[in-house]
Amino acid sequence: MPLAGVDYPRTLVEFQTFFPDEKACVAYLERLRWTDGFMCPRGHAAATPWRSARGLCICPTCRCQVSATAGTLFEGTRKLRHWLMAAWEVTNRKNGASALAVQRALGLGSYETAWAWLQKLRRAMVRPDRDKLGGEVEVDETYLGTEEPGVRGGRHVVKRAIVVIASEMQGRRIGRIRLRRVPDVAAPSLQGFIVDVVQPGSLIHTDGWQGYASIAAKGFRHRVTVTRTSDQPAHIPFPGVHRVASLLKRWCLGTHQGAISEEHLDYYLDEFTFRFNRRTSKARGLLFYRLVFQALRTAHVETDALFLDTGRGRRRPRAHGRRLVERSV
Name the site residues for Zn ion (rule: CB under 5 A): 40, 42, 44, 59, 61-62
What phi, psi does 69 have (nearest 5°)? -95, -5
Residue closer to Zn ion, measured from CB, 62 or 157: 62
CB of 40 to Zn ion, least distance (A): 3
What phi, psi does 203 have (nearest 5°)? -90, 115
Residues paired with residue 206 on neighbouring β-strands, in sequence order: 224
Distance from chain centroid for Cα 132: 16
CB of 300 to Zn ion, least distance (A): 21
Q: Answer for the pair 245, 165: CB distance below 8 angstroms, yes or no.
A: yes
Parallel, antiparallel or unpaired: strands 221-224 and 203-206: parallel
CB of 62 to Zn ion, least distance (A): 3
Q: Dump strand ranges (E) for 3-79.
A: 38-39, 45-46, 50-51, 57-58, 65-66
3-state secondary structure of 74: coil
238's CB contacts (< 8 A; 6+ apart) are: 138, 140, 205, 207, 225, 227
Residue closer to Zn ion, measured from CB, 64 or 186: 64
DSSP 125: S
CB of 55 to Zn ion, least distance (A): 18
Residue closer to Zn ion, measured from CB, 41 or 149: 41
Residue closer to Zn ion, measured from CB, 67 or 119: 67
Residue closer to Zn ion, measured from CB, 58 or 100: 58
CB of 44 to Zn ion, least distance (A): 3
Distance from chain centroid for Cα 308: 23
Alpha-carbon gap, residue 101 to 99, rounded angstroms: 5
Residue closer to Zn ion, measured from CB, 44 or 79: 44
